[in-house]
Structures are given as structure tokens and as C-alpha cells.
A and B are shown apart, each in its own frame.
Chain A
Amino acid sequence: YSTFGQNLKWQTNKLTFRIVNYTPDMPQSDVDNAIEKALQVWARVTPLRFSRIYAGTADIMISFGSRDHGDFYPFDGPDGTLAHAFAPSQGIGGDAHFDDDETFTFRSSRGYNLFLVAAHEFGHSLGLSHSRDPGALMYPVYSYRDPTTFVLPRDDVNGIQSLYGSNPDVSVVKPEPEGPTTPNACDPQLVLDAVTTLRGEMFFFKDSFFWRSSTYSRRAEQHLIKSYWPDGPNNIDAAYESRSADRVFLIKGRKVWSLYGYTVERGYPKSLKSLGLSKSVRKVNAAFHDQESGKTIFFVGDYYYSYDESRRVMDRGYPKRVDEGFPGMTGEVTAAFQHRGFTYIFSGPQMFEYSFRSKRLFRVLRNSYFLRC
């Protein structure tokens, strides 16, 4: 996190706000809700308390405008810059302006979610500058998250509490769930949720994030899953690519999502049965598709299943024990994928390199081997 500076903060914990005008995109009641919810994000973790006024000058004046709207920082039409706000001070300080050339929404992932944009801008109104942490609310680039389950990330909590301290009422109020921290690709203890290829690139999933790595990019990029697939799942169990169908399947619990590029296909999530797995399978730990044999391998506990994609049936004689198909693999399989003809099986912080056909184990590597630390 970063702040505008210690003296650029409010000297009182009792702040006023006023919604000066409204966007035509949403019912006014939804705007009110989004703004109040966004302020509560910060009130919940600090002594700050916000009260609304309907006339006169509030500490935080909230307005919608487009292009040149009178503050020497003109907006730029659709997309690009979505909003801005000013650091705490008298006058324009604390005020938040929203670009009305954007389409703002309240509950959906369509357009730009006003609650998320407002919560970010109010961080500026209270004294926070931008964070370098891609999982932080105060990261400058917009990314969608589910507003109904939103919890202020740890980086932002640390930031705002460095200015105002923590919420003194927390003993009265239900303690705030611990904000999510952003996983670090180079953490030697990193255990991945799932790994898959996607049109020649490698995608490594962890919590609500994934890293995208390709032989062309010089560095693995970290993104929120929902910034690519707003209706996709966080914290997945397994993922694999079916190149023939140009689809990536994400598995979480008993559900499976089908991704076609940036799109989550209609009709998904479906049940695991749609992948040919029996009803008894409750959780898949990992999966990969073997290009050579055309089989998709599902790891379930200590066993693995083999599904014949062309005949669309589960192969006979399965499930088999994992260490039968992958000698030396005695731990829980956490992720799996194929790359350049090698099969990589992840277990905890380690990655085992096999030939799927000969069952030969070549090397044991670290999880971050492809993440270019």
C-alpha cells in the first residue's frame, strides 16, 4: 500500500458525504446503496464514521460528470479512466468524481461495478494512494470481484489502519474476516490449486488469482480470475484444456465450468457427471488431457480415472492407484498439466516431470519452475 503522506489525512474520524447528482445507468436507490456500502468497507476496519448530508458542502462530495467537469482533470469518454478522487484537504479534498461516460452497475459484472469503483475512490478520499499489489482494492487497474462476498484485502487494511488505526468497536461488532492476501508466485511453499494450458500458454491457479505464463512473455502475469472470467469460480480444484474442443474446463467441488476464450459458456456450471465421472466422485484434485492418447486423466484422492474423449466413455479398469500410473508419486496430487510432451504432476510445493506413456519420472522440480521467478 502507499499513502499520500501522513499529514494528508482527515483530522477527525467523523466525516460527512453528499451525493450531488446521479448517473442515469442505475436506479438512484442502487447508487445510494453502492456508495454507502463502499464507505462501510473502510468504516468497518477503522474508527472512521460517515454521515450523509443532502445540502451544503460535505467532506466527501460525490458526483457524476463527463469529459471536462470543472476540475482541470477531464475524463476521457468510455473506458480508460473511470473515476478519480482527491486526497483529504479542505475544498475539493476528499471529493470523488465518476465518469458518466462509463456504464455503472450495482449487482452485476456488466459494465463497471459502482460499488467497487467507489470503494477504491474513497480509499483516495481518505488518504490512500495506489498500491502495487494486484490483489489490493487500491490497485489502479479495475478488476471485477463479486460484491456480495467482497472483503477488504489485507494490503488495504494495513494501509488505512496506518493512517487511522483500527476499528475500536470491533469487540462489539463481529470480528472482520481476515482480508485475502495476494499469493506470491515465488513463495517456495506455494501450493497451486490447478494448472492448465490455454492456447499455448500456461495458466497457474491459486485462490482468486492465476498467473499466465508463455514462452514469449518474459514474466508471468498475475491476474484475478474474475478479471478474465467474471462468472468463473475462485479457489478451483482442477483445470484442463481440451485442445480439440478449444475449451478449458475449470472444476470446483462437484461443478465444472467451460471456458471458451474469455467466455464462460452458457449452461455452465454443470455437474461432474458431464465429464463422464460417476456420481460417487465428490472432488477432483487435478486433471490433465493427454494429447497423445486422447485421454483425460482425473485425479481423485489416491486414485485416477481415465476418460476417452473420442469414445466419450470412462476407460475400463479405472480408477487405478496414482502411484501405479505415476511411480514415486505418493503424496496428494494438487495439479497436473502437459507441456511439450512431458506430464507435470504437482504435489504440495513440488512438481514431478513424467513421461505419461513410459511412466518414467525424469525430474522433481519446484512449483515455480515455469513461473519465471
Chain B
Amino acid sequence: LPSLLATEESDGEVAEKYLQRFFNLTEKSTPSSRRGVSAQSRILSEMQSFFRLKVTGLLDSDTLEVMKKPRCGVPEVAR
């Protein structure tokens, strides 16, 4: 059963919000966008490259760790 308590954001939500806020991800990940490289995966690669992480386009623990670090609110890719 879904928890009645407020739950922490899932890693996916953290990542999506991060990419929207700092790397101008505008598209929400939807089943249709799963054909080919999704915008989210492409922009995630951009973020991984910026932070000198291994560029996989996949949300891994190293990438998530960077996303959770305290930081400046100015985006890397301006809208």
C-alpha cells in the first residue's frame, strides 16, 4: 500500500528536477520519449560531462551524489 506519510522524492524525481532546474530539461520523460535517446538521457549526459563523471546517460550513484550536493542556484544551461 502507498505510505500515508510524506515520502522522500525518488531518485528519478530528484534527477528530473535537477536537470530541469540546472540543465534546461524541458521535456518530461514519457513512454513515447523512450524511443531512441530520450531528452532526459541526453541532458543527463551533458550534466555528467560537466561534472567530469563517467558519461553514461544513466542515473548512477556517482551522478546522484553530485545532484544532492549543496550548490549555487544559477543554472549551467540558462533557459
Contacts and interface: CB of A to CB of B under 8 A. Distances in A.
B50 A132 contact: yes
A142 B71 contact: yes
Given A218-B54, A219-B53, A219-B54, A130 B74 contact: yes
Contacts of A134: 52
B71 A141 contact: yes
B48 to A, nearest CB: 10
Given A219-B52, A222-B52, A73 B70 contact: no
B61 to A, nearest CB: 9
B66 interface: yes
A124 B71 contact: no
A83 B74 CA distance: 8
Given A141-B66, A217-B62, A221-B62, A120 B50 contact: no
A141 B69 contact: yes
Q: How large is the interface on A (under 10, 10 to 19, 20 to 34, 35 or more residues)?
A: 20 to 34
B31 interface: no
B72 interface: yes
A121 B54 contact: no
A84 B72 contact: yes
Interface string B66-79: 10011111101010
B73 A81 contact: yes
Interface of B: 22, 50-54, 62, 66, 69-74, 76, 78
12 contacts: A79-B70, A81-B71, A81-B72, A84-B72, A112-B70, A124-B72, A130-B50, A130-B72, A132-B50, A132-B52, A142-B69, A218-B62
